[in-house]
């Protein structure tokens, strides 16, 4: 199993494809393998590095709290261990705020970045949502926690589609039988990184080309959050999908994969 030592932890990663490096940073509770539907396209052009974040998958899960800066340093160390001086970065949700910190703390390492369903700071509603998610993780069976997450990230068109609905039901079954679910303490530690992240005064210093992308109907990270990030980063591009939520990258997969591939090839 490929692990590297970085920032005091053993970090697991996988690779897909070849070419210039593309580091893919996933969101809360999710291992790097969740990128597969996108990496299948990106890996035709890039060497995709799919990491398991601190606190999930096959990477170490030390006690928290974590911070977005700490987790960015994890990825800076991963790049160093792999001999990657500079890479394109794509981050989803919690992964997007880690990517922000990577561009702020290690600017020479970031050629360009895509920030998916991102934020620069949380408001009271966001704080309430993260607090409730932590309570759900601590008190629910894994399949019930997955049920709540699905309600948070998908929108009505996804529920109304028979194939998507069946995939959701399979997701509940998979959660119930997962031999190694994320420990409660690790989810809470990742949530702490999400809650405390605040780069609103620093994003003006980001120099790399940036695409902010999300869904207009996202209830987890509402569109104002992505709009705020895009407005704060000089020259950032912004694209928000109609009728899509936090999981817009699956809901709009047929457009998302070629759109992001084209953008990455240009930047």
- Residue 137, domain CATH: 3.40.50.1820
Beta strand 9-16 pairing with 3-6: antiparallel
Return the DSSP state at 16.
E
Return the DSSP state at 7.
T
Look at residue 180 in the predicted model and tell me its pLDDT. 82
Look at residue 1 in the predicted model and tell me its pLDDT. 64
**Whole-angstrom distance, CA of residue 134 vs CA of residue 185:** 9
Distance of CA 48 to the CA centre of its chain: 15
Beta strand 3-6 pairing with 46-51: unpaired
Helix (H) or strand (E) run with residue 167 in it: helix 162-177
Full domain range(s) for residue 226: 3-266
Residues (pLDDT < 50) of the chain are none
**Whole-angstrom distance, CA of residue 260 vs CA of residue 264:** 6
With beta carbons less than 8 A apart as the criterion, state whether 146 and 172 touch. Answer: yes
pTM flag (> 0.95): yes
Q: In the beta sheet, which residues pair with residue 69?
A: none
Total number of domains constituting the chain? 1
Cβ-proximal residues to 22 (8 Å cutoff; 6+ apart), any chain = 42, 46, 47, 48, 49, 87, 88, 89, 90, 264
Look at residue 181 in the predicted model and tell me its pLDDT. 87
């Amino acid at each position: 199993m490929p692990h590297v030592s970085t920032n005091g932890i053993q970090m697991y990663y996988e690779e897909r494809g070849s070419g210039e490096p593309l580091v893919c940073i996933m969101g809360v509770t999710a291992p790097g393998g969740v990128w597969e539907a996108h990496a299948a396209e990106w890996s035709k052009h890039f060497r995709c590095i799919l990491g398991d974040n601190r606190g999930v998958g096959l990477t170490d899960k030390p006690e928290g709290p974590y911070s977005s800066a700490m987790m960015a340093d994890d990825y800076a160390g991963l790049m160093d261990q792999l001999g990657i001086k500079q890479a394109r970065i794509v981050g989803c949700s919690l992964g997007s705020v880690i990517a922000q910190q990577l561009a702020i703390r290690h600017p020479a390492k970031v050629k360009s970045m895509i920030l998916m369903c991102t934020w620069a700071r949380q408001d009271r509603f966001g704080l309430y949502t993260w607090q409730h998610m932590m309570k759900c993780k601590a008190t629910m069976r894994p399949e019930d926690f997955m049920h709540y997450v699905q309600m948070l990230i998908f929108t009505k068109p996804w529920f109304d589609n028979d194939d998507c609905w069946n995939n959701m039901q399979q997701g509940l079954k998979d959660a119930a039988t997962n031999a190694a679910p994320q420990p409660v303490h690790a989810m809470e530690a990742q949530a702490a990184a999400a809650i405390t992240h605040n780069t609103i005064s620093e994003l003006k210093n980001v120099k790399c080309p940036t695409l902010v992308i999300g869904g207009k109907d996202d209830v987890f990270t509402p569109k104002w959050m992505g709009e705020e990030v895009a407005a704060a980063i000089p020259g950032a591009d912004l694209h928000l999908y109609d009728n899509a939520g936090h999981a817009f990258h699956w809901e709009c997969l047929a457009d998302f994969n070629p759109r992001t591939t084209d953008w990455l090839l240009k930047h």
